[in-house]
A = this chain, B = another copy of it.
Amino acid sequence: MSASVHDVARRAGVSISTVSRVLNDTAPVSEDKRRRVLEAVARLDYWPNPVARSLVKHRTDTIGAVLPYVTGEFFAELLAGLDQATSEYEKLLLLSASHREATSFRTALHSLGHRSDGLIVMAPESTAAQVLKITRDELPVVFLNTHVPDHRAPYVNFDNRGGMRTMTEHLVREGHERIAFVRGSSGAFDAEERTQGFREGLGCSASGTEFEGDFTAASGYVAAVRALRATPRPTAILASNDLAAMGALRALTERSIQVPADMAVAGFDDVPSASYATPSLTSVHVPIRALAVRAVTILVEWIQGGDVAGSAHVEPLAVKLRESTGRI
């Protein structure tokens, strides 16, 4: 068992209050005793127990993150942002992923509640109101890529709809009149928004065919195969995310369909490997890492007593053109 304040106090010949005062620099202590305390701390290799500390200070120096899942490059980037920001603010990151159904979501929020000073919640398949009903304003919550219709809490989103609209408009402008669209997971807020954006972007000169999908490479593969069988055949495949686009790309290369000559392909997210695909993948760039940092920054400011009431950010997204849609 490791040393406690009492051990340090005994060894230094002072009271535990004095030890605490030295360690936290919270009140003047005579030079003599300070030296003795410090020496005892070093000798015993004493580290204050953060649990006891949290109990009395009502502060855990920990930030909780509730995510739907953690696989894929998109989440790797997201986590990298969360990790970077939290460690910059000298906080720890308490992770609770794999939460898609409401019940596990609920328990996750509760067990993270007292263990962290605030939460970053990404719940594209849920809504902010449901989350806030559980935390009941007892805990700062900043939402990330989540629908917050009443703007009741700070959030950091990106323009799923606008990004996809811009991408679609670009394809139409490039002369594509029939575009196959691979949808994302049904029921997910961001997937719906992207689908909306696609429809808006089509305008009146182009027509779109939508295929089921769930953000996986497999779903993109299947959609591409089905798209190839359609008559007349579409000239472009636009997927709801890069992973699905990669799946589509694979289906096409396997069948020796030239990309972009015979079929253009585009994705969404612009994950790192999009630029390393062959052909490199045109995608809607989402600076998710920076957005995660931004969310943490807002949360930390809130925790430290700052006013973040109106902190709502919707990042505009731009298209990153690459080989898979031609005319690099």
Nearest chain B CB to A72's CB is how many angstroms away? Answer: 6
Cβ of B98 and Cβ of A95 under 8 Å apart?
no
- The one of B50, B73, B276 in contact with A249, judged by C-beta atoms closer than 8 angstroms, is B276
Q: Chain B: which residue is nearest A273 at the CB level?
A: B273
Complexed CA–CA distance, A73 and B167 (Å): 26
Residue A71 CB within 8 A of the other chain: yes
Residues in B with CB closer than 8 Å to A277 are: 276-278
Residue A2 CB within 8 A of the other chain: yes
Kindly list 15 other residue pairs between chains A and B, CB separation below 8 angstroms, not including A1-B138, A71-B76. Answer: A45-B136, A47-B110, A47-B113, A47-B114, A50-B111, A51-B60, A62-B94, A79-B79, A84-B98, A87-B96, A92-B115, A249-B276, A249-B278, A250-B275, A277-B277
28 A-B contacts, Cβ less than 8 Å apart? A2-B138, A45-B136, A47-B110, A47-B113, A49-B55, A49-B114, A50-B111, A50-B114, A51-B51, A51-B55, A51-B115, A62-B94, A70-B76, A70-B83, A76-B79, A79-B95, A83-B97, A92-B94, A92-B95, A92-B111, A92-B112, A93-B94, A94-B94, A94-B95, A250-B275, A250-B278, A273-B273, A278-B278
Cβ of A50 and Cβ of B115 under 8 Å apart?
yes
Residue A210 CB within 8 A of the other chain: no
Nearest chain B CB to A78's CB is how many angstroms away? Answer: 10
Query: How many interface residues does chain A have, given as a range?
Result: 35 or more
Residue A119 CB within 8 A of the other chain: no
Chain A 81-102 near chain B by CB (<8 Å), digits 1 or 0: 0011001000011111110000
Complexed CA–CA distance, A250 and B280 (Å): 9
Residue A23 CB within 8 A of the other chain: no
Residue A308 CB within 8 A of the other chain: no
Residues in B with CB closer than 8 Å to A80 are: 69-71
Residue A246 CB within 8 A of the other chain: yes
